[in-house]
Chains A and B, each alone.
Chain A
Amino acid sequence: MAQYLLNLIQPDGDAPPPPEFLEPIMRDIAALNEEMRAAGVWVFAAGLHPASSATVLTPSGHDVLVTDGPFVEAKEHIGGFTLIDAPDLDAALEWGRKLARASTLPIEVRPVADGGE
């Protein structure tokens, strides 16, 4: 069994979307998490604060520099992630598809190195 990280790619907004927009999405994601647990594929999941809250640490000689993040300036950042067990990419993509539908966001599927071996 391998592991895959499903990253939710979230656009950086000035203001968070209104609750009436978010509520059904959060409900769908919670339901999917339950479905993943029931299927035995769910390993871990978390939502993140906006990328503007990030801090970057960069090794420099003997020191480590502290700077305001995020590390890469972009219009979208990882807004949350789910780690799953899946036998192969096709199985991981199937769960990723469900997460894309539930979250209404693009999903980046990354295989975990030596996952589950």
Chain B
Amino acid sequence: MTSIEAVFREAYGRAVAVLTRLLGDIDAAEEAVQDAFLTAVQRWPVDGVPPSPAGWIVTTARNRAVDRMRRESTRTERYVRAATEAALLDGPGEPTEEEGIVRDDRLRMLFTCCHPALAPAARVALTLRLVGGLTTAEIARAFLMPETTMAQRLVRAKGKIRDARIPYRVPTGADLPDRLAGVLAVVYLVFTEGHTASAGDELVRTDLCAEAIRLGRELVELMPDEPEALGLLALMLLTEARRTARVSPTGELVPLPDQDRSRWDTALVAEGQDLVRRCLRRGAPGPYQVQAAIQAVHSDAATAADTDWRQVVVLYDHLTALAPSPVVALNRAVAVAEVDGPAAGLAALAGVELPRSHLLPAVRADLLRRLGRTAEAVEAYDAALALAGTTAERTFLRRRRDESAAPDRSEGT
């Protein structure tokens, strides 16, 4: 990515957010910002990049919008007036957007993109485009979809925002906690799709992880007093720190106990742990903070054997109380097995249902293998193999299955 492209990506979300407030329409805002980018491409190589590129883009986009409104008589009077007034408010060429106003506009855009009336896939696409500044082509590539399909999804979603009048507003009062949880969920969805790609040959899609972390940093910047935003960022950083250790040179999944911990990114671990301490000090724990705390316990252990599994079980109990789910129950069972043995882990799995996911049979298989119940273990590995989505996961499961079926041969070679 060239520096101009990087600046564009940074400036896009800020500029579109401000212009959407001024013009009252996302499409018109995007058009104006793209006009400004075209001007930048012509001028910057000659005049140099301005000191505040994002401010320059906002001002230029605003002026372009006014020009366009004046040219196109079909636009309604309302838009012309709003844009004209806005343009008149600041002097020519001044990067006048006060940081506080831009911040409010970016928050409005974020809550609009993550509105519960939009389909989850549309929320993800809109957030990456309008907040993250990714191009439609980049989003399509990240989700392994044709660009036309992604473009249609964005057009439809923006059409619904316009036609149904989804408000450009940060929710207040009783609505805020639910809506905030929705925003955090969209960002985490981007991260998990990158971290455990649900399809394809690559186990991890780094671009999506990087985008999710960038959005997570933005959330913390926009909502510095929200401990769950800190918790989400910490969770993503601590997970991302293990990325290189999580995939073997042959592209195979390396589970946490087998990872070479010297390959963890110590800077990301330190930042994540610092964030966990910061948010837990607020005394308002939520699901993301507790999940981050669990990852922080793992990150504290120099070797897998040093893991404070009792602490992990305590944290999973806490998480079960805050946000019970089959996946939480599954991970709790794994921790219980480390504290009280595989039989206790297997007992903790009783009643857990997770259809269409390879995770439950994979964990069952591992516990059965450790109990020496080979035939049942192989059966469970087969069930997991039938459901695993990525090549890396299947390769890992197949090797474990074959080792269980013929332990002598595989141990020897």
List residues of chain A with CB under 8 Å of any chain B CB.
2, 87-90, 93, 109, 111, 113
Contacts and interface: CB of A to CB of B under 8 A. Distances in A.
Contacts of A109: 164
B169 to A, nearest CB: 8
B146 interface: no
A111 B164 contact: yes
Interface string B155-174: 00000000111110101000
B117 interface: yes
A89 B163 CA distance: 9
A43 B115 CA distance: 26
A90 B164 contact: no
14 contacts: A2-B165, A87-B165, A87-B167, A88-B166, A89-B165, A90-B166, A90-B167, A90-B169, A90-B175, A93-B117, A109-B164, A111-B163, A111-B164, A113-B163
A111 B165 contact: yes
A99 B173 CA distance: 22
B171 A90 contact: yes
Contacts of A93: 117
Contacts of A87: 165, 167
A4 B169 CA distance: 19
Contacts of B115: 89
Nearest to A2: B165
A2 B164 CA distance: 9
Interface in B109-126: 115, 117
B113 to A, nearest CB: 14
Nearest to B175: A90
Contacts of B165: 2, 87-89, 111
A90 B115 CA distance: 10
A89 B171 contact: no
Nearest to B168: A88
Contacts of A2: 165
Contacts of A90: 166-167, 169, 171, 175
A87 B413 CA distance: 71
B163 A88 contact: no
Nearest to B162: A111
Interface in B260-275: none
Could you say which of B117, B165, B167, B169 has the most chain A C-beta atoms within 10 Å of its C-beta? B165
B167 A88 contact: yes
Contacts of B164: 89, 109, 111
